[in-house]
Amino acid sequence: MTTPRSAAVYARISSDQAGEGLGVQRQVEDCLRLAEGLGWTVGEEYVDNDFSAYSGKPRPRYQQMLTDLASGDRDGVLVYHLDRLTRRPRELEEFLEVIDAAKVRHVKFVAGDADLGSGDGLLVARIMGAVAAGESAAKSRRVKRKLMQNAELGLPHGRSVRPFGFEQDAITHRPDEASVLRELAQRFVAGESLRSLCTDLEERGVKTVKGAPWHTHSLRYVLSNPRLAGLRSHNGQTVGKAVWEPIITEELHHRVLALIASRKMSSRRTPRAYLLSGMLRCGKCGGTLFSSRRQDSRRYVCLSGPDHRGCGGLTVVAAPLEQLITDYALFRLDSPAVANAIAGRSSADEESSRLGEQLSQEREPLDYLAEEFGVARIDRRHWEKARRPVEGRVKDLEKRLGKVTRTDSLTGLGTGEALRDQWAGLNLSRQSAILRTLIAHITIAPGQRGARALDPDRAEVTWLL
């Protein structure tokens, strides 16, 4: 029997096993050692990360390997164990078909030696494949059932790491962390960015449960988690009230979610480094001005070219313009017009607390039904039937709740001198959120060549409030 001139080494991490990164390295190394022992030449290593073969998610490298086997580019396969290669009978059949058609007769496993080149090996492989699929389906059913059951009863998931804000039991609050979470949620809906909240946590020495610094994605996950509002979710669906006390109100929770959703849509933009980024229009062409730093002076400029499509003919120095607009805005915040608008906001507040109230009323039967199911007074079929219409109404209310309150950024602002003192202490993203609440956009007229100071008449503000 000849030896392969260009064998494939295949390795895979499955997400259900611990200590994985190392695992793949070992799989590959052991395969290479085996190749050396057999005198095979290895053509390529194919490694798929973090996909469970059973879950049916695509394995791009595996597919590539099949393609290369079919085309004859690879003529042998080395795998650590059959369960790295395939865990479903259908996949095994596909694999067998490919190697059969391409007449690949060299398939070796480091462990559980099933040589597919021999009839026995083939049978062993088929059997092993069938066994692996059966095992994995049963395990996945067991786990799913357990998780669903816990969710229905409002019990927390079993976990190795406690959730931030809670003790290890995932029910008892940790008061210091709970108050941090409340504060963060409020500042977030008031317009502060996740990035700026993370920086603040870093400065205060507040770490994640694992003792790591906060990142925007970890903070977004924690702040948007229904568990904060005392709600139990399963597969992204809120299934009812949890057994633990809420840290934030359900209303606040939905405002956080709505804001995250709206920011996701604009997440392609670069992080805000300038107070007026995105708010300025070119007075010549109407295009948006972009921030730019030249030597030690910050500017907003109209940029031409395919990415920006402006006229490229307008520049304004940032600092005096930002000062001017801030003065306008602070003056505006003191005005009766805005006072009225903020008073108008209280009607939005009423609307949202009314919806919040309605929501918890609607939820009550769901909690009751879950309890009845929990103590086996009704069966699953009746329970599902009874809760379906209620869930529809709940979802509708949640959606409406997310849409009220547009002026959250103005919450907690003082007036007059107090406001001026306060302003300097607010960070950039909060200041910017306030300006965005007040101002639709600012059109900048062309400047006089050689003018040293900013002419206030160059800035024309279009107010929202």
- Name the residue nearer to Zn ion (CB basis): 54 or 300: 300
Q: How far is the CB of 338 from Zn ion (least distance, A)?
A: 31
- Name the residue nearer to Zn ion (CB basis): 49 or 292: 292
Give the span between the Cα atoms of 44 and 73, in whole angstroms: 10
Give the span between the Cα atoms of 291 and 307, in whole angstroms: 14
Q: With contact defined as beta carbons under 8 Å apart, do 349 and 359 qualify?
A: no
Give the span between the Cα atoms of 255 and 384, in whole angstroms: 28
- Name the residue nearer to Zn ion (CB basis): 189 or 316: 316
Antiparallel, parallel or unpaired: β 439-444 and 280-282: parallel
Q: How far is the CB of 449 from Zn ion (least distance, A)?
A: 16
> Which residues are 241's β-sheet partners?
231
Q: With contact defined as beta carbons under 8 Å apart, do 322 and 304 qualify?
A: no
Give the span between the Cα atoms of 247 and 173, in whole angstroms: 8
Antiparallel, parallel or unpaired: β 42-48 and 315-317: unpaired
- Name the residue nearer to Zn ion (CB basis): 204 or 449: 449
- Name the residue nearer to Zn ion (CB basis): 285 or 342: 285
> How far apart, in Å, are the Cα atoms of 344 and each of 29, 243, 337, 339?
68, 37, 10, 8
Residue linked to tokens 């067998």? 96
Q: How far is the CB of 301 from Zn ion (least distance, A)?
A: 9
Q: With contact defined as beta carbons under 8 Å apart, do 322 and 357 qualify?
A: no
Q: With contact defined as beta carbons under 8 Å apart, do 233 and 254 qualify?
A: no
Q: How far is the CB of 309 from Zn ion (least distance, A)?
A: 9
Q: How far is the CB of 444 from Zn ion (least distance, A)?
A: 9
- Name the residue nearer to Zn ion (CB basis): 163 or 287: 287
Give the span between the Cα atoms of 334 and 417, in whole angstroms: 10
Q: How far is the CB of 313 from Zn ion (least distance, A)?
A: 6
The contact set with Zn ion (CB under 5 A) reads 282, 284-285, 287, 302, 310-311, 314
Antiparallel, parallel or unpaired: β 439-444 and 315-317: unpaired
Q: How far is the CB of 311 from Zn ion (least distance, A)?
A: 3
- Name the residue nearer to Zn ion (CB basis): 105 or 284: 284
DSSP 305: S
